[in-house]
């Protein structure tokens, strides 16, 4: 047996180093580089999207890595394609849910690592229209998203556990050429057959590097076919945005970023994974993303029939309900340089500071170290004015109800005379000390 160039583990280890290697590779500007700001504008304003992991693994309900992590033989796993026949237009339900949740775009797995395509591909028969489903599930998804006014994203896994060349491409040049043509060909199909697509979300580049994938040529084709699209960085080029996974971390270089996260511990449907986040956690994650200038892509893993686990529906509806009242603190938010509190998180638009109080302290809510002067304050949900007193070191919002007026997070909007910035060093150094 040939051993691949990278083991999966060493490949994961190289991921951290990938951005540097990738930027060296992409010294020549791609067609998309020139007008990145224009293409990304809607996405920055949107802040919040729905990720959807759906495939044959959804029938088994043991996580989307089940094929690999249980070492299921290809022939055995393939049988699932004969059973995967979701109810018609399941995606409509997701798109409606995304709308209710306040999400502005969707990104669905058109092909995950298992290799099964939800779209119609001339390049394989291992795709939904040619198996039990008998229909193009990507077409249904695109239509559903558009019907709800949501932007449309395609997730596409480069790594492929089903294709005969998917592993040996690392050591066999003829296999690499065939496999790269297959992958580029499928991306071409996705970029050609569904009208305007807003996001292309590559995933897992094992076992090749950017050169092996011919990622430059890949992106060139994508931008030729979809001049307005944005692409992520997981074909090992920088792309338009980076993709911290299961963590919220602004890109150090100041590039655009999107944190993708699950609501439990699995992306694909996992029947017994009950480690659900609370709606409050999801709301605070969304606030943190908005605060640090990023986006939040929150995942659902529908069952094989397309139905969405009830817990996910409950969480998303709670988030959406909160956004109905407090959305102006999130959509179109600017990066915010206030972050220290024991009971609140922050976001900002222009000179307005939004204080998101998650552990309600009672009648008085305090913010330390604010450099700007507060001109007025109100509860965002009700518009009720909030009284305040401000000195050099703190602002105290006064006369508030003993119980939190909004649930699960109460937002105080404070209009300031300049950009609200917090300086805690100053508090520590200069706050008057007794007898000095």
Q: Which residues bind ligand GLC (CB under 6 A)?
A: 53, 64-65, 203-204, 245, 260, 267
Q: Which residue, 161 or 346, has its beta carbon nearer to ligand GLC?
A: 161
Burial class (CB in 10 A: 0-12, 13-18, 19+), 311: middle
Q: Which residue, 7 or 339, has its beta carbon nearer to ligand GLC?
A: 7
Q: Which residue, 42 or 65, has its beta carbon nearer to ligand GLC?
A: 65
- In angstroms, give the least distance from the CB of 155 to ligand GLC: 7
Largest CA distance in the chain: 83
- In angstroms, give the least distance from the CB of 64 to ligand GLC: 5
- In angstroms, give the least distance from the CB of 51 to ligand GLC: 7
Lookup: tokens for 183: 């992958």
On whether the CB atoms of residues 371 and 340 are closer than 8 A, the answer is no
What distance in Å separates the CA atoms of residue 298 and residue 92, rounded to the nearest whole number? 18
- In angstroms, give the least distance from the CB of 112 to ligand GLC: 6
Q: Which residue, 116 or 397, has its beta carbon nearer to ligand GLC?
A: 116
Q: Which helix (H) or strand (E) holds 288?
A: helix 279-291
- In angstroms, give the least distance from the CB of 299 to ligand GLC: 8
Helix residue ranges per DSSP H, 102-199: 137-147, 173-192
What distance in Å separates the CA atoms of residue 136 and residue 108, rounded to the nearest whole number? 13
3-state secondary structure of 377: strand
The backbone torsions φ and ψ at residue 353, rounded to the nearest 5 degrees and listed phi first, read: -100, 130
Lookup: tokens for 63: 């996580």
What distance in Å separates the CA atoms of residue 316 and residue 330, rounded to the nearest whole number? 16
- In angstroms, give the least distance from the CB of 8 to ligand GLC: 10
Residue bearing tokens 């990278």: 6
- In angstroms, give the least distance from the CB of 203 to ligand GLC: 5
């Amino acid at each position: 047996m040939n051993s691949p160039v990278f083991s999966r583990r060493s490949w994961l280890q190289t991921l951290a180093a990938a951005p540097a290697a990738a930027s060296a590779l992409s010294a020549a500007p791609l067609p998309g580089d020139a007008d990145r700001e224009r293409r990304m504008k809607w996405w920055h304003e949107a802040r919040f999207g729905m990720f959807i992991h759906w495939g044959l693994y959804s029938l088994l309900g043991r996580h989307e890595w089940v094929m690999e992590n249980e070492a299921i033989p290809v022939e055995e796993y393939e049988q699932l394609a004969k059973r995967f026949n979701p109810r018609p237009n399941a995606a409509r339900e997701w798109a409606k849910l995304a709308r209710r949740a306040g999400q502005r775009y969707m990104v669905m797995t058109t092909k995950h690592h298992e290799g099964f395509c939800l779209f119609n591909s001339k390049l394989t028969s291992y795709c939904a229209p040619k198996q039990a489903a008998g229909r193009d599930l990507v077409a249904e998804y695109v239509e559903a998203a558009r019907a709800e006014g949501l932007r449309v994203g395609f997730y596409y896994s480069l790594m492929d556990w089903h294709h005969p060349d998917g592993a040996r491409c690392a050591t066999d040049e003829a296999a690499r050429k065939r496999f790269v043509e297959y992958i580029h060909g499928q991306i071409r199909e996705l970029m050609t057959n569904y009208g305007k697509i807003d996001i292309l979300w590559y995933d897992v580049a094992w076992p090749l590097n950017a050169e092996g994938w011919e990622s430059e040529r890949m992106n060139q084709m994508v931008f030729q076919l979809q001049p307005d699209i944005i692409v992520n960085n997981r074909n090992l080029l920088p792309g338009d945005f980076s993709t911290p996974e299961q963590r919220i971390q602004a890109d150090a270089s100041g590039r655009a970023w999107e944190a993708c996260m699950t609501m439990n511990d699995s992306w694909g449907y996992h029947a017994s994974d009950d480690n659900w986040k609370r709606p409050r956690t999801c709301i605070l994650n969304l606030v943190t993303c908005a605060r640090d200038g990023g986006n939040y892509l929150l995942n659902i893993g529908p069952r094989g029939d397309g139905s969405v686990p009830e817990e996910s529906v409950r969480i998303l509806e709670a988030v959406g309900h909160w956004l109905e009242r407090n959305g102006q603190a999130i959509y179109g938010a600017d990066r915010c340089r206030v972050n220290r509190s024991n009971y609140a998180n922050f976001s900002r638009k222009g000179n307005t500071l939004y204080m998101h109080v998650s552990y309600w302290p009672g009648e008085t809510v305090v913010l330390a170290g604010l450099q700007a002067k507060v001109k007025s304050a109100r509860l965002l949900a009700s518009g009720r004015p909030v009284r305040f007193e401000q000195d050099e070191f703190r602002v105290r919002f006064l006369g508030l109800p003993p119980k939190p007026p909004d649930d699960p997070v109460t937002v105080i909007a404070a209009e300031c005379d300049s950009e609200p910035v917090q300086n805690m060093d100053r508090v520590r150094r200069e706050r008057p000390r007794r007898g000095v």
